Amino acid sequence: MSALFDLATPTVALFERAERWPVRRIFCVGRNYAAHAREMGKDPDREPPFFFTKPADAVVESGVPVPYPPQTSNLHFEGELVVAIGRGGSRVAEDDALDHVWGYAVGNDLTRRDMQAEAKTMGRPWDMAKGFDHSAVIGPIRAAKDVGHLAEGPIQTRVNGEVKQDADLHELIWSVPEVVSFLSDTILLCAGDLIMTGTPAGVGALQSGDTCTVAIEGLGEISTTIVDPV
């Protein structure tokens, strides 16, 4: 049977490879750094991590201009470590979790913060605050066999050169193996899934004309310029 129309699979660049990474789903961890939980008005704790998602086609590569999105006046950056799942599985044990991780990338979880705040107040879903067009800046993905598995190291976000977020991956409340294990208890993880692991403290607003850079030691940096709405 043929499909009524073709859908292109969104892809992300692989570092120094001609092949590209087909994006299956984008999962995101909420409040995974204690200082960020505090700045969002929550007490950090070790309650199980919670997840939200972005559509696969929300993905944007480094260097691609992002139009300031509609229906917000408070667009925020969130610099994050991204985990690329190369092997699927359910109920993956923490000790086995890294076997499912193909590689890592730098990401920016763009957020309509005002819309998210309203959703929280109204008890509504975060989808439109988090999963809008061009909201997932990701890549290029580097293979774990080349860069190792990342558990520590600086993660920094700059806006127009000014440092806004300056943290270390070891501050993650839930580590990469723990996140992969938890998520695989909830859904069947599949090859192509990406996990944005949460942002450190220091989130803030972006305006049209701003350039936001996120850097993680060992993974390089990504850069996004916000441009006027189309």
Chain residues 172-211 in contact with Mn ion, contact rule CB under 5 A: 199
Contact pattern for Mn ion over residues 127 through 166, marking x by CB under 5 A: ----------------------------------------
**What is the residue whose two structure tokens read 């996140």?**
179
Residue 109 binds to Mn ion (criterion: CB under 5 A): yes
The nearest distance, CB 73 to Mn ion, in angstroms, is 20
Partnered with residue 76 across adjacent β-strands are 111, 205
CB of 192 to Mn ion, least distance (A): 20
Q: Which stretch in 62-70, 107-115, 165-173, 219-227 sits in contact with Mn ion by CB under 5 A?
A: 107-115
Q: Which long-range contacts (CB under 8 A, 24 or more apart) does 225-228 make?
A: 225/65, 225/66, 226/65, 226/66, 226/67, 226/68, 226/75, 227/65, 227/66, 227/67, 227/68, 228/67, 228/68
* H or E stretch covering 158: strand 154-159
Member of 26, 56, 68, 78 binding Mn ion (CB under 5 A): 78
Stretch that binds Mn ion, among 36-44, 46-54, 77-85, 161-169 (CB under 5 A): 77-85
Torsion of CA 29, 143, 106, 15, to 10 degrees: -150
The smaller minimum CB distance to Mn ion, of residues 96 and 171, is found at 171
User: Residue 70: how many CA atoms within 13 Å on its side-chain side?
Assistant: 2
Q: C-beta of 199: minimal distance to Mn ion in Å?
A: 4
107 versus 177: smaller Cβ distance to Mn ion: 107
Total site size for Mn ion, rule CB under 5 A: 3
Count of other CB atoms within 10 angstroms of residue 52: 18
Instruction: Please say which residue, 89 or 203, places its beta carbon nearer to Mn ion.
Output: 203
Which of helix, strand or coil describes residue 176? helix
Q: Is 37 among the residues that bind Mn ion (CB under 5 A)?
A: no
CB-based contact 167:36 (threshold 8 Å): no
Residues that bind Mn ion (CB under 5 A): 78, 109, 199
